[in-house]
Amino acid sequence: MPLPVLFIGLGVAAATGGLGIGKGVKAGVDFHSAKNINKTANELLESSADRLNAERLACGTALSKLGEEKLFVLNNTINEFLETFTKIKNVDFQNTEGIDELKKLHIDEQGFAELKTMVNFAGSFAGGAAVGTVGGALAAFGAYGAAQALACASTGTAIASLSGAAATNATLAFFGGGSLAAGGLGMAGGTVVLGGIVAGPALMVMGFIAGHAAKKELEKARTNQAEAIQISSQLDTASLQCQAIRRRAYMFYSLLARLDCFFLPLIFKMEDIFNAEGDDYRKYSAKSKGVIASAASIAVSIKSVLDTPILTDDGLLTDNSEKTATNVEDFLNNMKISI
C-alpha cells in the first residue's frame, strides 16, 4: 500500500533535518578545531616573542657593559699609561729581552697617537650628562670598533653622535628599542634585520590569526598555523643570534678586564722607573726596559680589542672579533708565564 503523502513529507523533513543537524555538528567541530589551532599558533608566537625580548634585553645590556668597560679602561689605565709613556724618549723595543711576544708586535708612534685620540674621545663621552642614561650610545660604543666610533662622533659630541648612530642602525635600535609587544622592533615598519633574519611585526601576525578565528575556517586556521611556525622559527633564530652577540660582548669585556689587571701594576712600576731613572729609555736597566715593554705590549693588546668591531651593520658577528679574542687570549696566557 502506498505511504500517505503526509508520512512521506514527514520522512523527507526528518531526513533533511538530520542532514542539517549533521552539517551543524560538523561546522561546530570545525569551528572548535580552528579556534584551538589559532590559539596554539598564537601561543607559539607569543612564546617565541617573549624569548626574543628577553634575549634582546640581555644582549643590549651586554653591549652597554662592554661600552662602559671600554670607557673605564681608556679614561683610567690607558690615560695614566700615556701620561708617563709619552714622556720617555728614545724608546726602542727591537732588542728588548725577556718577552718574545714583543717581536710579534708592531708598535709605532701612530698607534699610540690613536690611543691618545681614543682617550680624548672617551673623556668627552664620560664628561657628558649621566653616561648611564644615554640611550643607545654605550651599546653603540660596545658594538663598534674605536675607529668606527671616532668616525661617527667628533670630540665634544660623542654621546649625541653615538646615540644618533645607534638609532639609525637596525640592530642597535632593536637592542635599545621597546618590546615586541609594543612594536619595538627597531626601524620603521617594525622590522629589524638581525644576522640576516627578518623578524616581522609579530603582533600584527598574531592579530591576523586571531581575527580569522571567528570565521570558522579550518583551512585558514591551518594556514595561519603554518605561518606562525615559520615566523616563530625566525624569531627563535634571532634569539640564538642575540645569545651569540651577548657571549662575544662579554668575552671582550672579560679580555679588557683581565688585560687591565696586568696593566695597572706595570703602570705603577713604569712611573717609578721614570722618576728614578729619568726619561731616556737607552739608559734604563734591562729589567726596567722589560717593564716598559710589557706595559706597552698590553696597551697595544687593549688597542686591538678597542679597534675590533663586534658587529657588522647587518647584525652579524665579525670574523675579526673572534680572531682578536683568540690572539689576546694567547697573549694573556704568555704574559702569565713572562711576568
Beta bridge partners of 192: 199
pLDDT at 188: 35
- Residue 20 has a CB neighbour count (10 Å cut-off) of 10
- Sorted by sequence, the CB contacts under 8 Å of residue 62 that are 6+ apart come out as 142, 245, 246, 249, 250, 253
pLDDT at 279: 93
CA-angle at 178, arms to 174 and 180, nearest 5°? 85
C-alpha to C-alpha distances, 151 to 9, 106, 141, 142, nearest whole angstrom: 90, 23, 12, 15
pLDDT by residue (tens digit) across 222-255? 888 888 888 888 888 888 888 999 999 999 999 9
**pLDDT: which is higher, 65 or 334:** 65
**pLDDT: which is higher, 318 or 1:** 318
- CA of residue 198 relative to chain centroid, distance: 16
- Sorted by sequence, the CB contacts under 8 Å of residue 275 that are 6+ apart come out as none
- Sorted by sequence, the CB contacts under 8 Å of residue 241 that are 6+ apart come out as 194, 195, 197, 315
**pLDDT: which is higher, 203 or 313:** 313
pLDDT tier at 14 (50, 70, 90 boundaries)? Answer: very low
- Residue 168 has a CB neighbour count (10 Å cut-off) of 11
pLDDT at 305 over 90: yes
10 Å CB burial of residue 69 (0-12, 13-18, 19+) is buried
pTM for the whole thing?
Answer: 0.78
Tell me the pLDDT of the chain averaged across its residues: 74
pLDDT at 336: 61
Q: Is 192 helix (H, G, I), strand (E, B) or coil?
A: strand
**pLDDT: which is higher, 103 or 145:** 145
Find the length of the chain: 339
Beta bridge partners of 248: none
pLDDT tier at 29 (50, 70, 90 boundaries)? Answer: low
Q: Quote the percentage of the chain above a pLDDT of 90.
A: 26
Q: Is the dihedral of CA 218, 224, 227, 233 positive or negative?
A: negative
pLDDT at 173 over 90: no
- DSSP strands (E only) in the chain: 192-194, 197-199
pLDDT at 49: 82
Q: Are 301 and 262 in contact (CB under 8 A)?
A: no
Q: Are 89 and 279 in contact (CB under 8 A)?
A: yes
pLDDT at 58: 92
